[in-house]
């Protein structure tokens, strides 16, 4: 396997981090719906923290994307 | 399937080379003219019949301008109203560029990082100029958040410098990335539909429609966020803590 | 078009703001460290510190958005 192919593999593996982000987004929204179903009056508070959690999960996915782009950029 | 980023490439329609600069007219330039014409047409139709009982387009323009006015007052105060024309222009240019770019066959100007970066740098440099003219050298205290204990200062200073420098980058990258990603997804899904044929091609087509609706929402939201952050940055420079 | 007080639109704008802000802060910190490194010839140490500072700056922007009133920047997201 030459270096180019290895870099492409690495890019794909870095992009596989999106799977984790998918799990995180599903968990965040699912728990939010659960909490609101139990306590509908807490929707405003829970919603705010839900969006923070969502944004952090998204940031993790973007870190994966940045790593993928760095590997693609280092490829000769 | 060909490279999904292929349709973001620019090809010069009328090559112009002046004084060593490449000033060729390409799709993006033409599209920007179309956007300017569309915004002008929108406001011209809205303002042509200035009635007490507004027409539909007139009330649409009035509502959006009123909304932006609230945004400017909220984030920049009454003194920020002199930037109101700039903010409205920024918002409508980005919004129309996003929306017109969604029509098949056109080009999305905001998917070029040069365009969004120019907007972001313009906003940021403007906020720096405003800050230094209003506050003088005292403006450097924007790097020291209020209530910082003295021993934390050497740590907070680089952090604040980084977050200041990150402002124009985030502003440009957010708009550019959202537009590019959305259009790439649409392209890939549409390509899957064409490749899938009649038997299974309807599934990607349904997703294309869903993503297209999402993209319309994203076009509005990204224009909003760019405008909100522009007012926040300018307001930071005016108010300074 | 939803109004400014619509919690869903606020949440969505919030989410799109934070994700990019965190990542870009880190990248900007790393880039500044890289520039300082190639200027001072101390690869890779300032870059490592720059990544740390950038990550902290990103987390700080999240914190500021989550706690309005701490700084004037978040008056719009309440």
Torsions phi, psi for A75 (to 5 deg): -65, 135
Domain enclosing residue A14, as ranges: 3-75
Is C47 among the domain residues?
A: yes
User: C56 at the B interface (CB within 8 A)?
Assistant: yes
Q: Which domain holds residue B24?
A: 6-239
Number of independent structural domains in chain A: 1
Distance CA C24, CA C22 (A): 6
Residue C52 is assigned to a structural domain of this protein: yes
Do the chains contact at B220 and C20, CB–CB below 8 Å? no
Is residue B67 in a domain? yes
Residue of B nearest to C23 (CA): B170
Number of domains in chain B: 1
Is B131 inside a domain boundary? yes
CATH code where residue A66 lies: 1.20.20.10
Q: What's the predicted TM-score (pTM) here? A: 0.83
Instruction: For residue B101, tell me if it sits in a domain.
Output: yes
E strand map for B76-126: none
In chain A, the residue whose alpha carbon lies closest to the alpha carbon of C17 is A55
Interior CA angle at B43 toward B113 and B23, to 5°? 35
Residue B199 lies in a domain: yes
pLDDT in tens, chain B (241 residues): 567 677 777 777 777 777 777 777 888 888 899 999 999 998 888 887 777 777 788 888 888 888 888 888 888 888 878 889 999 999 999 999 999 999 888 888 888 888 899 999 999 999 999 888 888 888 888 887 777 777 888 888 888 889 889 999 999 998 998 888 888 888 888 888 888 878 888 888 889 999 999 899 889 888 988 998 899 889 888 887 6
- Is there a domain that residue B103 lies in? yes
Give a yes or no: residue C14 inside a domain: no
Q: Is residue C67 less than 8 Å (CB to CB) from chain A?
A: no
Instruction: Enumerate chain B positions whose Cβ falls within 8 A of a Cβ in C.
Output: 64, 67, 70-71, 74-75, 145-146, 158-160, 162-163, 165-166, 169-170, 173-174, 177-178, 220-222, 224-225, 228-229, 231-232, 235-236, 239, 241
Banded model confidence at residue C45, pLDDT cuts 50, 70, 90:
confident
Give chain C's domain count. 1
What does the pLDDT look like over C14-35, one tens digit per residue? 777 888 888 899 999 999 999 9
B162 within a domain of the structure (yes/no): yes
Contacts 24+ apart (CB under 8 A), A4-12: A4/A75, A4/A76, A7/A71, A7/A72, A7/A74, A7/A75, A8/A75, A10/A71, A11/A68, A11/A71, A11/A72
pLDDT of B118-169, one tens digit each?
999 999 999 999 888 888 888 888 887 777 777 888 888 888 889 889 999 9
Residues of C in contact with B162 (CB under 8 A): 25, 28-29, 32, 50, 53-54, 57
Whether residue B106 lies inside any domain: the answer is yes
Q: What is the pLDDT of residues B100-119, one digit of tens each?
A: 999 888 888 888 888 899 99
Range of the domain at C53: 21-69
């Amino acid at each position: 396997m030459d270096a180019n192919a290895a870099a492409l593999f690495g890019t794909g593996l870095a992009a596989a981090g999106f799977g984790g982000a998918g799990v995180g987004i599903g968990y965040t929204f699912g728990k939010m719906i659960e909490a609101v179903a139990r306590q509908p009056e807490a929707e405003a508070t829970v919603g705010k923290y839900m969006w923070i959690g969502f944004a952090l999960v998204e940031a993790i996915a973007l870190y994966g994307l940045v790593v993928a782009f760095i590997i693609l950029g280092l490829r000769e | 399937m060909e490279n999904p980023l292929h349709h973001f490439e620019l090809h010069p329609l009328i090559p112009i080379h002046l004084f060593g600069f490449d000033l060729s007219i390409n799709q993006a330039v033409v599209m920007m003219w179309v956007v300017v014409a569309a915004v002008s047409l929108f406001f011209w139709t809205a303002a042509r019949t200035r009635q007490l009982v507004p027409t539909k387009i007139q009330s649409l323009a009035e509502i959006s301008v009123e909304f932006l006015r609230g945004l400017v007052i909220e984030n920049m105060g009454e003194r920020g109203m002199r930037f109101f024309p700039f903010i409205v222009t920024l918002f409508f240019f980005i919004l129309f560029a996003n929306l017109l770019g969604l029509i098949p066959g056109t080009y999305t100007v905001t998917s070029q990082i040069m365009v969004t970066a120019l907007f972001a740098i313009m906003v940021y440099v403007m906020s720096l100029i405003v800050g230094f003219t209003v506050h003088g050298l005292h403006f450097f205290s924007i790097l020291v958040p209020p209530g910082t204990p003295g021993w934390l200062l050497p740590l907070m200073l680089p952090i604040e410098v980084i977050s200041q420098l990150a402002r124009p980058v985030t502003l440009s990258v957010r708009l550019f990335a959202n537009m590019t990603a959305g259009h790439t997804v649409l392209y890939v899904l549409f390509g899957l539909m064409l490749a899938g044929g009649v038997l299974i091609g309807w599934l990607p087509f349904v997703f294309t429609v869903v993503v297209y609706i999402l993209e319309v929402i994203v076009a509005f939201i990204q224009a909003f966020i760019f405008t909100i952050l522009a007012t926040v940055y300018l307001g930071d420079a005016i108010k300074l803590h | 078009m939803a109004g400014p007080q619509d919690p869903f639109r606020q949440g969505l704008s919030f989410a799109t703001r934070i994700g990019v802000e965190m990542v870009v802060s880190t990248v900007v910190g790393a880039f500044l460290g890289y520039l300082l490194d190639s200027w001072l010839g101390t690869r890779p140490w300032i870059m490592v510190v720059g990544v740390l500072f950038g990550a902290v700056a990103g987390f700080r922007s999240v914190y500021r958005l989550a706690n309005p009133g701490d700084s004037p920047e978040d008056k719009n997201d309440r």
